A and B are shown apart, each in its own frame.
Chain A
Amino acid sequence: EVQLVESGGGLVQPGGSLRLSCAASEFTFSSYSMNWVRQAPGKGLEWVSYISSTSSTIYYADSVKGRFTISRDNAKNSLYLQMNSLRDEDTAVYYCARGLLMTGIDYWGQGTLVTVSS
């Protein structure tokens, strides 16, 4: 069974940084595009960032552009999200998710909570 396990969440002050990781297993990670999707407490889903299987194509939501950086290491079956200049509104559960939003994200991790607060 496909597994996606996020880590790295926690409490951080406004303006701070955090790096999220996602460990993938039970599928050929290097063959799939990946995403980060977040969900603020009690709110809906918000797509954050996309990276193609070879890292050749990367997209960001306008709300995080210039502050967040997505990357992957196919040798380590891992996806990352470097989050800088964090704001209160970045508080959310961050999900690692496989696939294309266009054709459907077929597997999701259980999420890691990021809380930005002073």
Chain B
Amino acid sequence: QSALTQPPSASGSPGQSVTISCTGTSSDVGRYNYVSWYQQHPGKAPKLMIYEVSKRPSGVPDRFSGSKSGNTASLTVSGLQAEDEADYYCSSYAGSTVGVFGGGTKLTVL
């Protein structure tokens, strides 16, 4: 159950777009369209932002979008806002196991 690989940090200025990558293998991200993204503010519980690669739960702004190419999934935040500053985690179904999380990316809004 190896963790997915995310960059430790990402940043952008208000109004800009930023993309966070999540790299797995052909056994998880590359095989299944079951990638999710979670946002976590300090001291708070995670919040589901994207599921099944690109679907948004009700209430999540359309500034958040997800995609996948090969073994790498991506989360793009467009029109960055101050409240988007948080940690972001990806997860993927991995077949026989329930799933794995990425190591997390700290997004800073400059």
Contact = CB atoms under 8 A, between A and B. Distances in A.
Interface of A: 35, 37, 44-47, 50, 59, 61-62, 95, 100-106, 108-111
B45 A108 contact: yes
A94 B44 CA distance: 12
A26 to B, nearest CB: 16
B36 interface: yes
Nearest to B4: A44
Chain B interface residue count: which class? 20 to 34
B101 to A, nearest CB: 4
Contacts of B98: 35, 47, 50, 59, 100-102
- List the 8 closest pairs (A to B, CB-CB), nearest first: A104-B51, A101-B99, A108-B45, A102-B93, A44-B104, A104-B36, A45-B101, A102-B34
B101 A44 contact: yes
Contacts of B34: 102-103
B38 interface: yes
B38 A45 contact: yes
B99 A102 contact: yes
B12 interface: no
Interface string B1-20: 10100000000000000000
Contacts of B100: 47
B69 interface: no
B57 A108 contact: no
A95 B104 contact: no
Interface of B: 1, 3, 32, 34, 36, 38, 40, 44-48, 50-52, 57, 89, 91, 93, 97-104
Contacts of B40: 45
Given A101-B91, A104-B52, A47 B99 contact: yes
A37 B81 CA distance: 28
Nearest to B100: A47
A102 B94 CA distance: 8
Given A59-B98, A102-B99, A104-B57, A45 B1 contact: no
